[in-house]
Structure 1
């Protein structure tokens, strides 16, 4: 396991599998009467969020607390960042307070890398989403969910649909799923595929219907209107018609295929309400699995790996 978790590309097959296997063992903690383990007692985890978040922030907080770590939640709103404090000075403050790990979400791509490589802090840095770059723990929980339903991901076909251009989830999933041996197809309008996507380990398509019948899992991406400063498609209705997942399209999937979404969803745009709430949807399960996967990541970064190696 690397010292920091900044990118899905940092994980080779062995490291990724180790996180997933550890998460499998930790998943049962949520079903226990007392949902706590003493593993990280005395450690301090800081959730450093410069962007709004519900699932990721709460998931990391729950994960750290279930491992008995002390948790400090930092929000840019209402902090000295609103007065102009730099990322460096914020990091030095957290270091002075004895943070053992920082989970950072930032609107600027590369901010977690800067935090980790400039030696402002001695603790582990976990990327919880940086701009339009990456979101490695989301990719891990997605792979974990797929593996529980589909088994070994080697040779499985995963179709990722929608706003790939603005999606850090798509990039991290493409990298991690390739590492785990899956075949990834990106489906999007030409305007919503990023420059340089031909260098990714994926196949690209503009036609959703052509990609459904062979898919073992379909992941719908949210249309990120807040990041769009131009017209990337004619209208919401046209986008939904061409790239939305409705019941008719879902019924074309193989019987074993699952439907995923990283959330939050634009119901009625990239996915209809009946599909989101159908038995084939594992969207709520992804949230549950997210806590176990983030417990595994924090455990391996702060406790498990070093202790096992020195034992």
Structure 2
């Protein structure tokens, strides 16, 4: 089958570690299901894998990808929950949590095999391309907003670093829930895009906000951390799900403890939360912003665009 996989590690230029070609089709196993992939989406996790983060040389080659929507062998339309081992289904209670493409081959292929419990019915209102955008970025944003930060209608949030799937998902979900959204980006085009997604204000990184916010969605790290700490109200929450620009050199602990700010980390979400966010998207009539949809054979060009940071929303690959 056609697949996009890590053939070697390339820290400086992730795309150089990518190969696109034939890989063995997955085989069935007890309590697992083979899914024919109709669409998959890219995440920064794919770049980290190509750089060698979270993988060992002896694991190569490994198929990339955490997100997919597709068809089971009996004709069910499903969305794949990418977290393996969190609940023991299909692997037993002793297995540590991993994402697809870390221990088991991922979704950037014509087929993927996953624990049957990890399959969520795809709402008929969503296309395969739209549904494939949800399992990492939208699920993480949903948990950050509504569980980690506990936001409610009428409150406010700052989303750092408009452009990628997580930020665009957080803006869209928060606005649909009646939350006031502020957003930051160095790009004027991305600030304009943030307003179109539902943000009430979009400013340059470090820019002054009309008021302090109840929570911050932080996935950038060093480049935005100080602004996040200064922008959240006393007693507010900074929800952290990444550090694409690296770890901050200073944690600014004095400001954090003096203002009683909660810093809470989160990764992904549960299978039930994936079902919840899919249902919420249908009820609220909101859809992922897709930067572009490309054929799986063009995975190198898609990875290059992801690494450039020029995209707005999700990049989707279709086998």
TM-score range, shorter-chain basis? 0.3 to 0.5
Higher helix proportion: 1
Scaled by the length of structure 1, the TM-score of the pair is 0.47
Higher strand proportion: 2
Scaled by the length of structure 2, the TM-score of the pair is 0.46
